[in-house]
Amino acid sequence: MSRIFITGSSDGLGQMAAQLLVEGGHQVVLHARNKERAVHAMAQVPGAQAVLSADLSSIEETKALAQKLNDAGHFDAVIHNAAVGFSEPRRVATIDGLPHVFAVNTLAPYILTALMHAPKRLVYISSSLHLSGDPSLGDLAWESRRWGGTQAYSDSKLHIVLLAFAVARHWPGVLSNCVEPGWVATKMGGPDATDDLDLAYRTQAWLAIGTSASHQVTGDYLYHQQSAQALRAAFDPALQDRLLQACAQLSGVALPSH
């Protein structure tokens, strides 16, 4: 039995993965954006061990969440599932003055990774749209570029691949992988999505359990439990480290060595 924390598990793929893991007898701690969503999350995943609320667009709340998780004890796996989509019609700034998409999709998983006690397994959720992400990492805070929701989302999903691969390289004792769930009919994906919803959440749960030899991979990009294509630039250690340095500068949190 594993103890697993899942961000963004009040609905969508995070909730589905949580339900599957609870049904499998695992201890699951949920996450929701606020207390109201936390109540909803517990109602939707009966048997979950607990739920913690934090707005991941806030650096302060994300840091506080990491502390709460450390106080709650050891986790075998963390699934970084929370994300916001690309439908924002304009650049929305967070309380910290950062673009909302970047803060939630990139910076929050970085902060949680850096501040939480390292689990055995880390799972990050990306998208095939990362292939359209900007590997220059220029102007991460989007202070000067014209806003484009789809591009911002694609960039953030490239960032999460870079983060997963960087952690795999810097923390050899941790299995760190990235998952592409596919384009599925969730609230984010919309009703026209064409991929299999039932398969979309299973790979993240499968990696989080890590009970067989086939699960013991690291630094991989997976789609439906198979290695899939990732942008070639994402494998560049220098680019990975540039993202780590930028996130450390923006958050005031450095990724520790292991």
Q: Which of 153, 201, 221, 223 is catalytic?
A: 153
Helices (H), the chain: 12-23, 35-44, 59-71, 100-102, 108-115, 149-170, 197-200, 202-209, 237-251
User: 201 by DSSP, 3-state: which?
Assistant: coil
Q: How far apart are CA 142 and CA 179, in angstroms?
A: 26
Residue 157 bears catalytic tag: yes
- 63, 157, 201, 223: the active-site residue: 157
DSSP 32: E
Q: Is 153 a catalytic residue?
A: yes
Spatial contact of 35 and 61, defined as CB atoms under 8 Å apart: no
Distance CA 157, CA 162 (A): 9
Choose among 82, 92, 83, 50: nearest CA to 68: 50
Question: What stretch of H or E contains 80?
Answer: strand 77-80
Tell me which amino acid residue 186 is.
Answer: T
Please tell me the total number of residues recorded for the chain in this structure: 258
Which residue type is seen at 34? N
Which pair of tokens denotes residue 97?
Answer: 């003055």
CA–CA separation, 62 vs 108, rounded Å? Answer: 6
**What amino acid positions are annotated as catalytic residues?**
153, 157
